[in-house]
Structure 1
Amino acid sequence: MVAQAPARQTPAHRRIARVLAALAVLAASILSVAQARPAAAATNQFKGVNWADTRDNYNSGWVIPDGLAASDSYSQVYSVADTYIKAFQSNLGANTVRLPINPPSVSQSWWGAYKGAIDAALADGMKVDIACWTESSSVGTITNMSAWQSMWSTVVSAYGGNSNVYFEPLNEPYGYSSSQWISIASSWLSEFSSVPRSRVIIAGTGYDDHVTAEGASSALNGTLLSLHYYGTWASYTTESAWQSDLNSRIGGYTGRTVITEFGGPMTTGINYLTNHSNGQYQSFLAAVTDTARSDSFGTVYWAGLKTGDNYSMEKHNGSGLSNNNASGVTQVRWGWGY
């Protein structure tokens, strides 16, 4: 065979080759950056309510959610919880329930019965956020570290393997500085390293009122962040003002943030579908729900059920539950993407 001479490259061919080579380098660079910085996942899979103790979840004894009694057996707790969880689902469209614990509730006999609430919620297909409260609203620190760690050992042993259970090491750690709280939270993560960080919800600084310090901490990478937000924390009357304030509390951590408490009066007749530009609570609830919907983060309403609290979304109706405020339900559901 006669060898053929290689094709002669023209200047145009060489320019095209250089462009293609540059594009290949650019594509490789973009791929490398994408791999190094995984996209933040949305948290809008959480469409939840708090099921709270009527005395409040700050308690030196057992925390007992509304409708349950200290004398209840496991089967009795399970039956009541099953009824209420199904009501949260059908009345509100909720798929998450946030349940309180504290050391006495887990270390003493109540735990054997109280697990019925968690088990019923899981059997009904709910996500369960198990959150620890301190003994009173005037104590923003862990008063007995050994008891706290023992409590979490028991809870994680029981539910650490269930992908629908999430763990909040401490609610509203306002007695600690940001650095102190981050140190305690990171120690929790080390102690319970078998729990995927994506199922741990770390409280924001203070009353869970800012998550920027926790979000910026490399020690807490991979965890979710808990933010609380209430319409009594300012006196804005426009949705835009509330949104600006809310965004400053979240910073650049929308993809990790879950608002685990927010709410407004539901028993006073407020129409939450109006006055978004001239009403304090209407504009507040609109700001939270509109922002949650547009930015794809999850919310857990306070409270789904808490008799005596005018923020309660639900009320007792025979053996079941019914809504206190249809407009409030509509606005919260809007934030959940309905």
Structure 2
Amino acid sequence: MASMVPSVRRPLTASTLVTAVTALAMAVTALLGTAPPAVASTGPSTLAAGGFHGVNWADPRDNYADNPVVPSGLSTADSYATVHAKATAVLTGFRNNLGADTVRLPINPYSVGTSWWNAYTGAIDAATAMGFKVVLGYWEGLSHKDGKVDDTNAWNTMWNTVTAKYGSNGLVYFEPMNEPFGYTASAWANLAAQWITDRPSIPRDRVFVSGSGYNDNVTTVCADSRLSGTYLSLHHYGFWGTHTYNDWVTDLKNRIGGCASRTVLDEFGSPMTTGLDYNNASSTDNFVRYLRADTDTVRALGMGSVYWPGLRTGDSYTLQTLSGSGTDLTLTTTNVSGADRIRYGWGVASSLRSAASNRCLDVTDRSHTDGTQLQIWDCLGGANQQWLYTSGKQLQVYGDKCLDAYQQGRTPGTIVDIYTCNGGTNQQWNLNADGTVTGVQSGLCLDVIGQKTANGTKIELYTCNGGSNQRWTRG
């Protein structure tokens, strides 16, 4: 995470010609010792930036450390087995609470190649065993923190060790440096290109090249042909300015340029412990505007995103808090509306579980028929139990059906069904911090009839009364 405010910086198609230009550039480099001129490239179409739906798991010290970097909840005294077990618990929380499939983890030379590294790999191994994508990023030491690699030899040794261990694991990605703000754009591109050249066995589509400055603009690295085929990482924060929603959208798009297909927004975040409502499209709060703009833009452009932080002890931006002891750890979401926005940006649907029964909101018999009343049923992960909360406050299932108050009913006992999405207020819902789901039109709560917990119990609207049959959790 950037602790300083960055300044705002605002074809050829024949492959043989591109090859010739590149060869000439390399010859010029050899003779003059300068970097080759860039040939604009957005990389191959095989890159799938939109496939990264993740969170950062961070050290309480913001990952800048002059000693081993240790994500929240772990300890340098932990063994490999303990780290693996703790990580499995944390990652289960990320998946169940948020729908995450990616985790970004910090590394530094004080960690890699040490006894802590032998234990820390338990977190990486746990993640890949669960099918998570893992982005490993280098953070410089706290005493330096000048936006440059602290010790080039130690940095290269670290990366050689990391890539030797995980180079053959297709779920592990490598980010040579976090926020290279100490370099000019061209100097950073040169260093990133050298990193790639020095590790020819690492596929380019497993490399995340940071944007220039505070990772705040990817247009220059995107245009450099030496970096083609890599992913690009971008950072964007609401504390960088105060803008309208539209201006935040414009600001982010200017930093992306035409490179969205390669770009993963692998740090962005807002306060999650102060009670802000990120589902309020009319909010005048700068952070609400910013986060809604970022998640809307990520979704619209088909980009990936990795929230900062999914878990960081003591950080008001943290999306999860940690409880428990030993390896018996659980995560709790700090701001339901914030989690909704992150999932919306990912385009990921999730289940709604009744707090009373731990059963899922379910479309009866997997029906697609308008007017089908909803029920609770064992959570099976089917499409009839996957609900996407949209920017229009709809809860969508199957992509075209919405959670619906039958015949626009506004009285207790109104049936809750599915119906083709039409934008009506009887299809708009508030997901509240207390776990209730209330109709925008009626103000009534989504209720499991009669406080029952059995499979097949139907759903209705009812006066909110604080019962556990009116509380729901996501994921």
Same fold (TM > 0.5): yes
Deviation at 1:38, TM superposition (A): 5.2
Q: Which of 339, 347, 359 is the matching residue for 1:329?
A: 339
AA paired with 1:325? N
| Cα drift, residue 44 of structure 1 | 1.0
Residue in structure 2 matching 1:117, options 120, 123, 132? 123
TM-score (norm 1): 0.87
Q: In 1, Cα distance between the equivalents of 2:116 and 2:221?
A: 33
Q: Is the 8 A contact 2:47 2:229 kept in 1?
A: no
Offset of residue 107 of structure 1: 2.7
1:63 lines up with 2:73 in the alignment:
no
- Quote the residue 1:54 is aligned against: 60
2:427 maps to: none
How does 1:1-338 map onto structure 2 within 5 Å? 39=45, 41-136=47-142, 138-236=145-243, 238-276=244-282, 278-318=284-324, 319-338=329-348
Paired residue secondary structure (1:162) = coil
8 Å CA contact 1:276, 1:286 repeated in 2? no
Counterpart for residue 461 of structure 2:
none
Alpha carbons of structure 1 residues 140 and 127: separation in structure 2 relative to 1, 3 Å:
same
- For residues 126 and 144 of structure 1, the distance between their equivalents in structure 2, rounded to whole angstroms, comes to 31
C-alpha deviation, 1:173, in angstroms = 0.6
- Alignment partner of 1:94: what SS? coil
- For residues 287 and 159 of structure 1, do their structure 2 counterparts lie closer, same or farther at Cα, with a shift above 3 Å needed? same
Aligned-residue Cα RMSD (Å) equals: 1.6
Percent identical residues: 48
CA distance in 2 between counterparts of 1:144 and 1:223 reads 24
Q: Residue 371 of structure 2 aligns with which residue?
A: none
Higher relative contact order structure (alpha carbons within 8 Å, sequence separation ≥ 6): 1
Report if aligned partners of 2:44, 2:229 keep a CA contact under 8 Å in 1: no
User: Alignment length, in residue pairs?
Assistant: 305
Contact 1:40/1:255 (CA < 8 Å) preserved in 2? no
User: Which ranges of structure 2 fall in alignment gaps of 5 or more residues?
Assistant: 1-12, 19-42, 349-475
Name the CA shift for 1:59/1:132 in 2 (closer, same or farther; >3 Å).
same
By how many angstroms is 1:139 displaced? 2.1
Q: 1:224 to 1:243 in 2, by over 3 A?
A: same
Normalised TM-score (structure 2):
0.63
| Distance in 2 of aligned mates of 1:295 and 1:209 | 17
Following superposition, the deviation at residue 165 of structure 1 comes to: 0.5
Counterpart Cα distance in 2 of 1:322 and 1:126: 20
Q: Aligned partners of 1:38 and 1:133: how far apart in 2?
A: 28
Cα distance in 2 between the residues matched to 1:282 and 1:276: 9
Offset, 1:208: 0.1
Structure 1 position 307, deviation (Å): 1.1
Provide closer, same or farther for how the CA distance between residues 161 and 241 of structure 1 changes in structure 2, counting only shifts above 3 A.
same
Distance between the aligned counterparts of 2:218 and 2:330, measured in 1? Answer: 36
1:276-323 deviation per Cα after TM superposition (whole angstroms, max 9, x unaligned):
562211111111111111110000000000011000000013321110
Secondary structure, counterpart of 1:213 in structure 2: helix
Residue 194 (structure 1) shift: 0.6
Do 1:239 and 1:276's aligned partners in 2 also have CA atoms closer than 8 Å?
Answer: no
2-side partners of 1:235 and 1:141: how far apart? 29
Q: CA deviation at 1:275?
A: 4.2
Which secondary structure does the structure 2 equivalent of 1:129 belong to?
A: strand
Query: Deviations along 1:148-205, whole A, 9 cap, x unmatched?
Result: 0000000000000011110000000111001111111000001111111011000110
